């Protein structure tokens, strides 16, 4: 019964989400309490864009991502920098959490004890995208840092939101793993907003680059107009 | 679903198990813990066996740790009979309408307390309460003990112009029972103490008193003390005429072993009215409404 | 910040410490301390020689089983209710106040009160533990809830039901700390049931009381050893897997209740008559005079009992607080590897575990027989027990310190230049945390004859003046809640709010992601 409903409902979320999906970021001042982190933000992210957020650590990338996520939360999935996993639960359950809102509470509780075959197959499919299918019922706390990061990404993918907001989702992966994961993300989500530290991968996968420096937007341009060296000053120590 | 109901049924039966276990009509009695507990246990299990044999019902003695606990058990109806002191008996009967004093030791009609002193005080036995005891440290027994606290305080107030004991003595404490008072005065923890004379005799017989360290220096005038008190609803629970039969059975105790453990020669009939003097003192002391 | 128009003094570790010591000295002026027993050594020698020749035949297995049973059921019930409290703790002021009230009254006082309603029944024992423990569990579970890493909760899809969120992102994170804390509390529950035996619960405390009173120290020693064995092996028999068996087994091990008497009737009498202030019981409530009489009645209790009781309670607890603090500073090196060495540490630990497993109440009770009546036995008991508890915790913290290569090699230098300064904040946190506990225990010592609040409670119950006892208990509760509040305020001022709640717990790091995200338009 619940299962029959699930698929059409997902599709519906997609449809309504698509209709009004531009994320307008117009904030003169952003901060935690008294502390000012970002200033003079004025840009809009359109549906279908793949935005890479660049900048040195401390430039305000995480703050900007949190802000963007807060503005589009119901239609967006978040991959936070701290993986935000429940270490005592299995990989399956951590991934399944991406869809808790789609199912009845009763069913969620049942799944906590006995997952059904369909759910297992769905989660396994997602896990194979991130290369973790053999760890379906491993407690998440037993995985390495890089593996946990991929579980966090898998959870976001499983939630099937049109927008994905991800904070350094490939920081613990090597370049080819990262490349594969970004490809998977591109295929699963319409709109991507991802903080990255790897400029080469950013240029390869994003349609738009927003670079932050000293609490302000230093650069905002289509990715295909940029070269690697255009972004180099951002990472120079003197910059 | 069936499993859930099954589990609930098991839980429900678990919760009732102790209640069922206690269903058999048992006659339960208690006593104020006025001395060493081992001795009380021996004494009252003999009484329980005797009552069981003569009355033909299950009888159980429940030991308690304090005087008020004995009164509360009686007031709550968890025990039907109790061996009370004068004051605790009056307290209990005031709270349970219809309850009656039915028997007492032959000695309890004219009971007395001893004032005992540690040898270091140098106090000698006297016919009148010695005024030189003022300023020393004094131990009472339990707060509501007739012979260990309430009557002694009454006589002290008479002798010291109605001044409260804690104004007369440098320290006043309550040891809990008579055996404890004897030990406390013997060790010097307190210089003086008031004890039930029968417990003093029993403890001396048991070799617990060192005559070189502690001795009796004064005894109070007589007052009524211990008695068996039964609840008014005993007949309703155990059948008409039960109280009469119980009274006769208690009065018929001739076993020297049992009587010896009480420090009594025999049991004689008692009435509520006999305790009017104690009642008046307890009222004046604020122990009764 | 200003207090009465004056700038408030800035609080520092030093000032708080000196303040506490100064108050303790002031307390010493008022305290009644003396050794009245002529030869305290004699009694002590009899005690020790009895303990050295324990009479193991005196151990009653059924009393031992009942000790476990009351503890398991009391802690189980208290934990379950506390768990429910913790869910709404942050949102409901009523629940927070209820928890504070429940835990501010010592289990011995609860037992004395409950005896009036549930009488000599197993329920009295179970509830006497469950009620105050529910208050503690409610608060601690709520704190664990607050401090747990709940980052997963924040990334759940919006629209997730509260229950699903709880079972997926909260419970799995909290289950282990909850279970660990509950099993730790079982140890406290065992101590509580032992002490409740002294007032009549049929546990080994019941027999211990008799043996101590009668001077049968060989028997008392054997019983105490069986109790230490019970506590030392707790980790073996109290595990998450054995809990269902423990609960069911405990239920069947309870003594049968006594027949007769209706709890409902007793309840009605208790609330309808016993605790109603005496002047209100018979008067005409629509006229003014019974109310005036009640005001006078309250005034007399306040002046004659609450005030002296309060002063003595504060004096005793203040002296004991500082004495136990000093004791713990002396003791902790004995359980620290760096100071005691690989051979000394296990020995030190064994001694401290025995000291902290010995309930303060029983210790004071025994010391009272050795030294005679005064505040001294109570102070010593609180100092030994709590000093061992804090010393043990400090030792663990000291073992976790990492020293630089060229740290002082002489032990005293190391102690005063490295270890003590680095642990001092933690030390103060422990001391302030124990404050409320020591205060509650101080009040209880009144039952043993020290004129703290419990002395007057005991007197009122003996005289069957439950109305007076009830007012005194409310005053006791108010005092502990005030001290609890004061201790928390001080900890907040000193920024030392994180401390382990149980002896084997690691320090909880303050949560980093707590700051709420905000932006200003």
Q: Kindly state which CATH superfamily the domain B112-219 is placed in.
A: Periplasmic binding protein-like II (3.40.190.10)
pLDDT of residue A7: 40
- Long-range (24+ apart) CB contacts under 8 A made by C268-273 are C270/C116, C270/C117, C270/C466
pLDDT of residue C379: 96
Q: Quickly count: other Cβ atoms within 10 Å of residue B240's Cβ.
A: 9
Burial bucket for residue B235 (CB in 10 Å: 0-12, 13-18, 19+):
middle
Q: Of the given ranges (A65-69, A85-89, B105-109, B256-260), which has the lowest mean pLDDT?
A: A85-89
pLDDT of residue B85: 95
- Taking CB atoms and an 8 Å limit, are A100 and C175 in contact across chains? no
- Taking CB atoms and an 8 Å limit, are A73 and C158 in contact across chains? yes
Angle formed at CA A108 by CA A106 and CA A110, multiple of 5 degrees? 70
- Taking CB atoms and an 8 Å limit, are C152 and A99 in contact across chains? no
Give me the residue from B14, B62, B177 closest to C258, CB to CB.
B62
Q: Where are the alpha helices (DSSP H) in C36-170?
A: 40-52, 61-89, 93-104, 107-118, 122-147, 151-154, 162-165
Please report where in the chains the tokens 């009546």 appear, as a residue. Answer: C373
Indicate the DSSP class of residue A93: H
Q: What is the rounded CA–CA span in Å between residue C129 and residue A121? A: 49
All residues of chain C having their beta carbon less than 8 Å from the beta carbon of residue A155 are 155
Give me the residue from C121, C215, C373 closest to B189, CB to CB.
C373
Answer yes or no: are the C-beta atoms of B137 and B192 closer than 8 Å.
yes
Answer yes or no: are the C-beta atoms of C373 and C35 closer than 8 Å.
no
CA-based nearest residue in chain A for residue C513: A82
Task: Pick the more confident residue, C403 or B188.
Answer: B188
The neighbouring-strand residues paired with B101 are B229
Indicate the DSSP class of residue C406: T
Query: Helix (H, G, I), strand (E, B), or coil: what is residue A45?
Result: strand
A82 interface with C at CB cutoff 8 Å: yes
- Of A28, A80, A37, the residue nearest A60 (C-alpha): A37
First to last CA, chain B: 58
Q: What is the CATH number of domain B24-109+225-284?
A: 3.40.190.10
Angle formed at CA C447 by CA C444 and CA C451, multiple of 5 degrees? 85
Q: What is the rounded CA–CA span in Å between residue A85 and residue C152? A: 5
How confident is the prediction for chain B on average, in pLDDT? Answer: 90
Residues 6 or more apart whose CB falls under 8 angstroms from that of C200 comprise B64, B65, B66, B69, C115, C120, C206
- Taking CB atoms and an 8 Å limit, are B14 and C122 in contact across chains? no
pLDDT at A13 over 50: no
A138 interface with C at CB cutoff 8 Å: no
Q: Of the given ranges (B16-25, B272-281, C309-318), which has the lowest mean pLDDT?
A: B16-25
| DSSP codes joined into one string, B18-73 | HHHHT-S-EEEEEE---S-HHHHHHHHHHHHHHHHHHH-SEEEE---SSHHHHHHH
- Of C389, C367, C391, the residue nearest C380 (C-alpha): C367
Answer yes or no: are the C-beta atoms of B159 and B115 closer than 8 Å.
no
Q: Where are the alpha helices (DSSP H) in chain B?
A: 2-21, 37-55, 67-75, 86-95, 151-159, 165-168, 178-187, 197-205, 234-238, 242-251, 256-262, 276-284
Which part of chain B is CATH 3.40.190.10? Answer: 24-109+225-284, 112-219
C375 backbone dihedrals φ, ψ, rounded to 5° = -80, -15
A17 interface with C at CB cutoff 8 Å: no
Handedness of CA B174, B177, B178, B183 (dihedral sign): negative
* Token pair in block for residue C186: 């079982």
Q: What is the rounded CA–CA span in Å between residue B88 and residue B279? A: 10
pLDDT in tens, B94-139: 999 999 999 999 999 999 999 999 999 999 999 999 989 999 999 9
* Token pair in block for residue A239: 């910059």
Q: What is the rounded CA–CA span in Å between residue A142 and residue A152? A: 14
Task: Pick the more confident residue, A130 or C323.
Answer: C323
CB-hemisphere CA count at 13 Å for C91? 5
CB-hemisphere CA count at 13 Å for B55? 28
What stretch of H or E contains A219? strand A216-222
pLDDT along chain C (521 residues), means of 10: 55 86 93 87 91 92 94 96 92 92 94 88 93 95 82 82 87 88 92 94 93 92 94 89 91 79 80 88 82 92 94 95 96 92 92 91 92 93 95 90 77 85 87 91 91 93 91 94 89 68 42 33 30
Query: Helix (H, G, I), strand (E, B), or coil: what is residue C158?
Result: coil
| Inter-CA distances, C242 with B14, B105, C203, C248, Å | 19, 54, 22, 10
Give me the residue from B25, B95, B174 closest to C449, CB to CB.
B174
Answer yes or no: are the C-beta atoms of A209 and A61 closer than 8 Å.
no
Q: Where are the alpha helices (DSSP H) in C272-335?
A: 278-281, 289-301, 307-331
Answer yes or no: are the C-beta atoms of C146 and A88 closer than 8 Å.
no
Please report where in the chains the tokens 């976001």 appear, as a residue. Answer: A156
Q: How far is C169 from chain A (nearest CA, A)?
A: 6
The secondary structure of C437-497, three-state, reads: HHHHHHHHHHHHCCCCHHHHHHHHHHCCCHHHHHHHHHHHHHHHHHHHHHHHHHHHHCCCC
Rounded to the nearest 10°, the torsion over CA C127, B96, C448, B190 is -170
The model's confidence at residue B23, banded by pLDDT at 50, 70 and 90, is low
Count CB pairs under 8 A between chains A and C.
94
Residue ranges with strand state E in B98-176? 100-105, 113-118, 137-140, 171-174
Indicate the DSSP class of residue C8: P
| Inter-CA distances, A163 with A78, A166, A194, A224, C326, Å | 9, 10, 11, 22, 60
What stretch of H or E contains C361? helix C360-371
Q: How far is C486 from chain A (nearest CA, A)?
A: 28
Rounded to the nearest 10°, the torsion over CA A182, A183, A184, A190 is 90
Q: What is the rounded CA–CA span in Å between residue A64 and residue A134? A: 35
Q: How far is C496 from chain A (nearest CA, A)?
A: 22
All residues of chain C having their beta carbon less than 8 Å from the beta carbon of residue B25 are 259
Query: Helix (H, G, I), strand (E, B), or coil: what is residue B113?
Result: strand
Burial bucket for residue C52 (CB in 10 Å: 0-12, 13-18, 19+):
exposed
Query: Helix (H, G, I), strand (E, B), or coil: what is residue A209?
Result: strand
pLDDT of residue C497: 55
B115 backbone dihedrals φ, ψ, rounded to 5° = -95, 120
| DSSP codes joined into one string, B175-196 | -SSHHHHHHHHHHTSSSEEEEE
pLDDT of residue B140: 96
Q: Of the given ranges (A187-196, B265-274, C2-11, C130-139), which has the lowest mean pLDDT?
A: C2-11
Indicate the DSSP class of residue B111: B
Give me the residue from C172, C519, C521 closest to A86, CB to CB.
C172
Domains of chain C: 9-38+305-502 (1.10.3720.10), 56-274 (1.10.3720.10)
Rounded to the nearest 10°, the torsion over CA B9, B10, B15, B19 is 90
B121 backbone dihedrals φ, ψ, rounded to 5° = -75, -20
pLDDT of residue C279: 86
Q: What is the rounded CA–CA span in Å between residue C162 and residue C324? A: 45
Rg (CA), chain A: 18
Task: Pick the more confident residue, A9 or C393.
Answer: C393
What stretch of H or E contains C352? helix C337-357
pLDDT at B78 over 80: yes
Q: What is the rounded CA–CA span in Å between residue C380 and residue C397? A: 25
pLDDT of residue C303: 94
* Token pair in block for residue C6: 């004056």
* Token pair in block for residue C20: 């506490």
Task: Pick the more confident residue, C497 or A9.
Answer: C497
C463 interface with B at CB cutoff 8 Å: yes
Answer yes or no: are the C-beta atoms of B178 and B156 closer than 8 Å.
no
Domains of chain A: 2-235 (3.40.50.300)
Q: What is the rounded CA–CA span in Å between residue B154 and residue B113? A: 12
């Amino acid at each position: 019964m619940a299962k029959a409903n699930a698929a059409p409902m997902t599709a519906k979320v997609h449809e309504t989400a698509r209709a009004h999906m531009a994320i307008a970021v117009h904030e003169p001042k952003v901060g935690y309490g008294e502390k000012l982190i970002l200033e003079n933000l004025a840009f809009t992210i359109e549906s279908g864009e793949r935005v890479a957020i660049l900048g040195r650590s401390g430039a305000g990338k995480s703050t900007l991502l949190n802000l963007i996520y807060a503005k589009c939360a119901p239609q967006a999935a978040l991959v936070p920098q701290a993986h935000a996993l429940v270490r005592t639960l299995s990989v399956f359950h951590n991934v399944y959490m991406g869809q808790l809102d789609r199912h009845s509470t009763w069913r969620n509780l049942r799944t906590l004890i006995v997952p059904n075959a369909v759910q297992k197959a769905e989660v396994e499919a997602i896990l194979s995208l991130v290369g973790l299918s053999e760890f379906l019922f491993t407690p998440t706390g037993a995985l390495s840092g890089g593996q946990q990061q991929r579980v966090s990404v898998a959870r976001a993918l499983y939630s099937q939101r049109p927008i994905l907001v991800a904070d350094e989702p490939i920081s613990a992966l090597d370049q080819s793993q990262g490349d594969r994961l970004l490809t998977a993300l591109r295929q699963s989500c319409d709109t991507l907003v991802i903080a990255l530290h790897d400029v080469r991968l950013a240029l390869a996968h994003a349609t738009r680059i927003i670079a932050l420096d000293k609490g302000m937007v230093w650069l905002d341009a289509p990715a295909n107009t940029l070269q690697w060296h255009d972004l180099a000053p951002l990472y120079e120590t003197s910059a | 679903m069936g499993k859930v109901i099954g589990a609930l049924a098991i839980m429900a039966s678990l919760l009732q198990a102790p209640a069922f276990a206690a269903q058999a009509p048992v006659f339960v009695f208690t006593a104020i813990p006025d001395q060493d507990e081992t001795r009380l246990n021996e004494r009252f299990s003999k009484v329980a066996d005797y009552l069981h044999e003569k009355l033909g019902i299950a009888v159980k003695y429940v030991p308690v740790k304090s005087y008020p606990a004995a009164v509360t058990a009686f007031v709550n109806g968890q025990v039907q009979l109790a061996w009370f002191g004068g004051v605790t008996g009056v307290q209990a009967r005031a709270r349970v309408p219809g309850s009656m004093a039915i028997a007492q030791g032959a000695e309890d009609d004219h009971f007395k307390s001893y004032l005992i002193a540690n040898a270091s005080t140098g106090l000698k036995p006297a016919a009148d309460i010695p005024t030189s005891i003022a300023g020393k440290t004094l131990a009472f027994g339990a707060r509501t003990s007739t012979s260990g606290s309430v009557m002694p305080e009454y006589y002290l107030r008479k002798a010291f112009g109605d001044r409260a004991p804690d104004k007369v003595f440098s320290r006043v404490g309550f040891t809990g029972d008579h055996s404890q008072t004897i030990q406390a005065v013997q060790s010097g923890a307190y210089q003086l103490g008031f004890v039930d004379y029968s417990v003093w005799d029993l403890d001396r017989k048991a070799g617990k008193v060192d005559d070189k360290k502690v001795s009796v220096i004064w005894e109070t005038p007589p007052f009524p003390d211990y008695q068996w008190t039964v609840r008014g609803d005993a007949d309703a629970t155990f059948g008409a005429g039960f109280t009469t039969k119980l009274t006769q059975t208690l009065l018929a105790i001739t076993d020297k072993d049992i009587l010896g453990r009480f420090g009594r020669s025999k049991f004689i009939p008692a009435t509520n009215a006999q305790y009017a003097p104690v009642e008046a003192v307890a009222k004046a002391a604020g122990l009764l409404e | 910040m200003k207090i009465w128009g004056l700038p408030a003094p800035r609080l520092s570790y030093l000032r708080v410490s000196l303040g506490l010591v100064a108050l303790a000295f002031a307390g010493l002026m008022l305290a009644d301390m003396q050794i009245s027993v002529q030869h305290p050594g004699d009694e002590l020698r009899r005690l020790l020689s009895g303990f050295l020749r324990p009479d193991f035949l005196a151990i009653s297995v059924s009393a031992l089983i009942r000790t476990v049973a009351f503890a398991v059921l009391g802690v189980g019930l208290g934990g379950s209710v506390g768990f429910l409290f913790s869910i709404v703790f942050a949102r409901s002021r009523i629940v927070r106040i209820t928890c504070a009230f429940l835990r501010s009254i010592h289990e011995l006082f609860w037992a004395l009160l409950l005896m009036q309603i549930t009488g000599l029944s197993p329920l009295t024992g179970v509830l006497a533990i469950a009620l105050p423990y529910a208050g503690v569990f409610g608060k601690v579970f709520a704190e664990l809830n607050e401090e747990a890493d709940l980052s997963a909760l924040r990334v759940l899809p919006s629209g997730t039901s509260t229950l699903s969120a709880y079972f997926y992102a909260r419970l799995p994170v909290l289950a282990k700390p909850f279970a660990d804390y509950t099993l730790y509390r079982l140890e406290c529950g065992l101590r509580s049931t032992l002490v409740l035996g002294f007032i009549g619960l049929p546990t080994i405390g019941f027999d211990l009381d008799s043996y101590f009173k009668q001077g049968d120290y060989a028997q008392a020693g054997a019983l105490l050893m069986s109790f230490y064995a019970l506590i030392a092996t707790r980790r073996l028999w109290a595990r998450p897997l054995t809990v269902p068996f423990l609960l069911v087994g405990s239920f069947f091990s309870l003594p049968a209740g006594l027949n007769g008497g209706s709890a409902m009737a007793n309840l009605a009498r208790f609330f309808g008559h016993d605790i109603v202030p005496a002047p209100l019981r018979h008067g005409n409530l629509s006229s003014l005079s019974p109310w005036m009489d009640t005001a006078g009645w309250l005034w007399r209790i306040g002046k004659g009992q609450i005030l002296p009781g309060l002063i003595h309670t504060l004096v005793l607890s203040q002296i004991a607080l500082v004495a136990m603090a000093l004791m713990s500073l002396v003791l902790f090196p004995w359980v620290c590897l760096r100071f005691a060495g690989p051979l000394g540490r296990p020995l030190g630990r064994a001694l401290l575990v025995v000291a902290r497993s010995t309930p303060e109440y029983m210790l004071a009770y025994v010391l009272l027989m050795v030294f005679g009546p005064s505040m001294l036995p109570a102070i010593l008991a609180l100092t030994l027990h709590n000093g061992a508890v804090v010393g043990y915790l400090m030792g663990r913290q000291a073992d976790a310190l990492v020293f630089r290569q060229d740290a002082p090699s002489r032990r005293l230098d190391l102690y005063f230049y490295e270890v003590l300064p680095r642990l001092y904040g933690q030390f103060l946190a422990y001391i302030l945390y124990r404050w409320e506990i020591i205060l509650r225990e101080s009040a209880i010592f009144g039952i043993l004859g020290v004129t703290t609040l419990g002395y007057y409670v005991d007197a009122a119950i003996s005289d069957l003046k439950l109305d007076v006892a009830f007012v005194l208990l409310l005053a006791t509760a108010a005092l502990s809640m005030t001290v609890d509040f004061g201790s928390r305020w001080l900890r907040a001022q000193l920024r030392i709010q994180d401390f382990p709640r149980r002896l084997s717990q690691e320090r909880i790091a303050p949560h980093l992601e707590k700051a709420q995200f905000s932006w200003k338009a």
